[in-house]
């Protein structure tokens, strides 16, 4: 299991997940930076992700969709704010329509993914997702964001094992 801690703080509208991996920080970074890797874990197990474009350059937009068991596609995009390789990615995660356009009816989230080297060639990924309000956080939690993200991130270990 990759995820070792989950914290919800309604007062500041944040969801924080911490994952630890038996891999160096360079490998943890590549789980996000390499499209072939991120597609293998970003969606929960029954909602695999396909990235239509993947560019972690500040100002770029990363487009993706997850396909449900019924074949329905759930689109999203990252509006990349800042990137420090092997240290941090900061992006706005948005829901999108089938044309890759922002769905303004659904809440956006500000996401900071931090990478940290641990002793013994291990690494930690801390993901802090901040919503604009307590109500927005409650809405995405009701949609299954916590469970889906935990399930998705827990696929990292198996991906790393199959890559070695």
Where do we find the tokens 């992700």?
49
What are residue 73's phi and psi, to 5 degrees?
-105, 135
Asked if residue 147 lies in contact with residue 154, where contact means CB atoms within 8 angstroms, the answer is: no
Q: Domains in the chain and their CATH numbers?
A: 3-145 (3.30.530.20)
* Per-residue pLDDT at 12: 97
* Per-residue pLDDT at 67: 95
- Which among 136, 113, 133 has a CA at the least distance from the CA of 125? 113
- Which among 118, 99, 117, 91 has a CA at the least distance from the CA of 33? 91
Per-10-residue mean pLDDT of the chain, 164 residues long, equals: 92 97 94 94 92 96 94 96 98 94 95 96 96 96 93 91 71
- Cα 110 off chain centre by: 11
Tell me the chain's radius of gyration from C-alpha atoms: 15
* Per-residue pLDDT at 161: 83
- Which among 158, 163, 164 has a CA at the least distance from the CA of 45? 158
Neighbours of 27 (CB within 10 A): 21
């Amino acid at each position: 299991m990759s995820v070792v801690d989950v914290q919800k703080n309604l007062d500041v509208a944040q969801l924080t997940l911490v994952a630890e991996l038996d891999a160096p920080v360079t490998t943890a970074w590549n789980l996000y930076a390499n499209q072939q890797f991120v597609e293998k874990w970003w969606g929960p197990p029954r909602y695999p992700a396909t990235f239509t474009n993947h560019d972690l350059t500040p100002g770029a937009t990363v487009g993706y969709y997850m396909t449900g068991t019924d074949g329905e596609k759930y689109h999203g995009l990252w509006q990349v704010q800042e990137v420090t390789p092997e240290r941090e990615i900061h992006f706005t995660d948005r829901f999108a329509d089938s044309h890759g356009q922002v769905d303004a009816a659904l809440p956006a989230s500000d996401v900071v993914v931090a990478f940290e080297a641990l002793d013994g060639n291990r690494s930690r990924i801390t993901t802090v997702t901040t919503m604009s309000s307590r109500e927005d956080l409650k809405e995405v939690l009701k949609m299954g964001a916590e469970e889906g993200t935990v399930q998705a991130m827990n696929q990292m270990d198996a991906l790393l094992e199959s890559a070695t």
